[in-house]
Amino acid sequence: MNIKTNTRKKLYRFWLCILIALVSLVVLIPLYWIFICSAKPAGKLFTSPIDFFPQEVTINNYIRLMETMNVLEKAANTLIITGFALFFSTIICTLSAYAFSRYRTKGLSAAKGALLATALIPPIVTARPLYDFLRSTGLVDTYPGLIILYTSSLLPFSILILTNFFSEVPITIEEAAEVDGCNFIQKFFLVLLPLMRPGIATICIINFINCLNDLFTPLFFAGRIEVLSVAITMIPTRNAYSVPWDLTSAMGWIILFPIIIFVSVFQKQIMEGIMSGSVKG
Amino acid sequence: MRKTYRQVKKLWLPWLMITPALLTRGFTTLYPVLMTFYNSLFEINGFKGGEPVFIGLGNFVKIFQDPKLVTSVTFTIIFTVFSMLGHVVLGIGLALLLNQKFKGKRFLRTIVLIPWAMPMVVAGIAARWAFNDQFGLVNDLIRRFIPTFHYDWLVNAGSARTAVILVDLWKDIPFFAILVLAALQFIPEDIYDAAHIDGAGPIRTFFKITLPISGKTILTQCIFFTMWRITSFDLVYAMTSGGPGDSTTLLAYRIMLEAFNNLNMGYASAIAVMLFLLMAVFSGLNMFAVSRLDD
């Protein structure tokens, strides 16, 4: 009996290791492949079979990318728009989440339902009229216009998560603050917000990634203001049939590298954030 | 009982607090949706110019006679069904793996988050090259086992469609699995211990305990993922541009082509209205399923 369970355990360990290795390889090999493609010298890129451990590496592709594509400016655009969108969405969502978690009336829950339901409207359904509307107000291809659109796209999910976080803050804390003579503004900023810091951090981390990944908004509502996700599709080709894979892979890695670092650092918060959205939502 | 919310007084305050959110969402989603409904009743052609002509349901009649749209709808259905099958089977599998206890759990979770965190457009563009016959990664890996293998994936309709689904699975299964994992972690450990003492094997434990308890969450999640598949756009935009021919033109991509390239705004609106109604049906289905399973 004992020997049997022992071999069973070993077998389980064995298969577990195989599966873990398999999953890791399936994710990592393509990423590694993009990286080595971006670092190979010009003549060595098109070889078959692929040389996975190239002898010579170069940063020529990155230099060429900086010269021809103005990558730094695009990264700056991305960060400016994302930064403002995070700032505004956090303010708007904290206010709404407080209202939804502390007051319950039929009207308010209908409003909450409506807000969350708008998340299910596919962007492509709204794209054309929204474009015409923004053009008539002069907001197409401007920072304010893009920031409004990015902010808006973050709202439903953030409100959902932050409402859940607020519900976990007991109301007795608020009552204690009121007894001590806090008015509403003081109570909100000095008592509640500090308690909400982990929740707000979590939602900002997830929203940051969502903003970086957004292709739809900048593709349709911007032209001159290019962000990284659009820029990778705009790399010029020498002729109609060639793909500029040397520059594309370098651009891909410029986008991927910060994301990999970011995910490694904030793994725990990201997991918590995603999960808290699923179970209660 | 702990008081978690207060009784109604000063009702203007919560409404004031949610006003910015309501206004922002109203202007960026509600108003354009209404406009899309309105536009769908007109013939608006950006190339010919001129005033929009009211044609009633004419655009909707056109939808059912447009062979390109049939292709789009067919592929959207194929894409959604096969992708969801893959999500459910492999996603639950990956979630079970992530739920095991082993060293390096943190490492594996980080790795699994990377595909979720990267932009779909990067995955799509890399895939365009990875599925290249001669120099692509996929064929290279196959050739290490079958040296003479040659196939140009993105040139034939069937294999291009398969490739698109594979990339979608690679990018999105991790996210699905993490959400399943959240449901799995709500199952108390002692139920498994009890099942083990009663002599239930792992397969029986999975079908009799794990699946019934986490089923509701997984089902809700599946409906959301299905809706995201139906409105998917980034992947084919970056990977195949809808080709070869129109074989991988997903519905959302078709609407974009009509609205922004062919400038058929009225017709594009009509397709968008159909898509919107489909989404509404799915949302209703979701609410129905959740309320049914709550009983």
pLDDT tens, residue by residue, A89-103: 999 999 999 999 888
Q: Are residues A105 and A43 in the same domain?
A: no
**Measured CA angle at A140 (ends A134, A145), to 5 deg:** 80
Measured between beta carbons, the chain B residues lying within 8 angstroms of A111 are 18, 22
- Per CATH, the homologous superfamily of domain B39-294 is MetI-like (1.10.3720.10)
CB contact under 8 A, A270 and B113: yes
Over residues A16-44, the pLDDT tens digits come to: 999 999 999 999 999 999 998 888 887 77
Task: Please indicate, yes or no, if residue A78 is contained in any of the structural domains.
Answer: yes
Structural domain count, chain A: 2
Report CA A46 to chain centroid distance, whole Å. 33
Nearest residue in chain A measured CA to CA from B263: A128
CB contact under 8 A, A128 and B39: yes
Does residue A157 register a pLDDT over 70?
yes
Task: Please indicate, yes or no, if residue A246 is contained in any of the structural domains.
Answer: yes
Q: Are residues A98 and A41 in the same domain?
A: no
Task: Please indicate, yes or no, if residue A237 is contained in any of the structural domains.
Answer: yes
Chain B nearest CA to A173, separation (Å): 11
Q: Are residues A100 and A168 in the same domain?
A: yes
End-to-end CA distance of chain A: 46
- For each of chain B's 295 residues, which pLDDT tens digit applies? 344 455 546 688 889 999 999 999 999 999 999 999 998 888 887 777 667 788 878 888 888 888 888 999 999 999 999 999 999 999 999 999 998 888 888 889 999 999 999 999 999 999 988 998 888 889 888 988 888 888 888 888 899 999 999 999 999 999 999 889 888 888 888 888 888 888 888 888 888 888 888 888 888 888 888 888 988 888 999 888 887 888 899 999 999 888 888 888 888 899 999 999 988 888 888 778 777 766 5
What phi and psi, each to the nearest 5 degrees, are found at residue A103? -120, 135
Find where tokens 């609410």 sit: B287
CB contact under 8 A, A124 and B272: yes
Radius of gyration, CA atoms only, chain A: 24
Please give the structure tokens belonging to residue A129: 């009229």
As a residue count, chain B comes to: 295
Give the residue extent of every domain in chain B: 39-294
Task: Please indicate, yes or no, if residue A251 is contained in any of the structural domains.
Answer: yes
Task: Please indicate, yes or no, if residue A210 is contained in any of the structural domains.
Answer: yes
User: What's the mean pLDDT in A252-280?
Assistant: 84
Q: What is the Cα–Cα distance from B183 to B293, expressed in whole angstroms?
A: 15
Q: Are residues A40 and A145 in the same domain?
A: no
Domain of A35, in residue numbers: 29-58
Q: What is the Cα–Cα distance from A182 to A175, expressed in whole angstroms?
A: 10
Look at residue A281 in the predicted model and tell me its pLDDT. Answer: 43
Nearest residue in chain A measured CA to CA from B234: A215
The percent of residues above 90 in pLDDT, for chain A, comes to 29
Task: Please indicate, yes or no, if residue A165 is contained in any of the structural domains.
Answer: yes
Q: Are residues A231 and A125 in the same domain?
A: yes
Q: Are residues A54 and A75 in the same domain?
A: no
Look at residue B89 in the predicted model and tell me its pLDDT. Answer: 94
Q: What is the Cα–Cα distance from B295 to B290, expressed in whole angstroms?
A: 9
Q: Are residues A112 and A232 in the same domain?
A: yes
Q: Are residues A245 and A131 in the same domain?
A: yes
More confident residue, A255 or B133: A255
Q: Are residues A113 and A168 in the same domain?
A: yes
Outline where chain B has alpha helix (H): 12-25, 31-39, 58-63, 67-98, 105-117, 120-130, 137-143, 157-184, 189-197, 202-205, 211-230, 234-239, 251-256, 265-294
User: What's the mean pLDDT in A189-204?
Assistant: 87
Report CA B104 to chain centroid distance, whole Å. 30
Task: Please indicate, yes or no, if residue A9 is contained in any of the structural domains.
Answer: no
Measured between beta carbons, the chain B residues lying within 8 angstroms of A255 are 118-119, 122
Outline where A103-224 has alpha helix (H): 106-117, 123-136, 143-167, 171-179, 184-186, 193-213, 216-221
Measured between beta carbons, the chain A residues lying within 8 angstroms of B259 are 127-128
Find where tokens 């490694």 sit: A264
CB contact under 8 A, A19 and B97: yes
Q: Residue type at B244? A: P
Q: What is the Cα–Cα distance from A124 to A126, expressed in whole angstroms?
A: 5
The ipTM is 0.86
Please give the structure tokens belonging to residue A136: 């008539």
Q: Are residues A238 and A175 in the same domain?
A: yes
**Residue pair B15/A115 in contact by the 8 Å Cβ criterion:** no
Nearest residue in chain A measured CA to CA from B5: A102
Question: Could you tell me the CATH number of the domain that includes residue A202?
Answer: 1.10.3720.10
End-to-end CA distance of chain B: 24
Task: Tell me the C-alpha to C-alpha distance, in Å, between residue A99 and each of A112, A166, A187, B8.
Answer: 10, 10, 14, 12
Q: What is the Cα–Cα distance from B284 to B276, expressed in whole angstroms?
A: 12
| Residue A192 C-beta-side C-alpha neighbours within 13 Å | 28
Q: List, in sequence order, every residue forming a beta bridge with B6; answer none if it has no partner.
A: A103
Q: What is the Cα–Cα distance from B266 to B54, expressed in whole angstroms?
A: 10
3-state secondary structure of B186: coil
CB contact under 8 A, A103 and B121: no
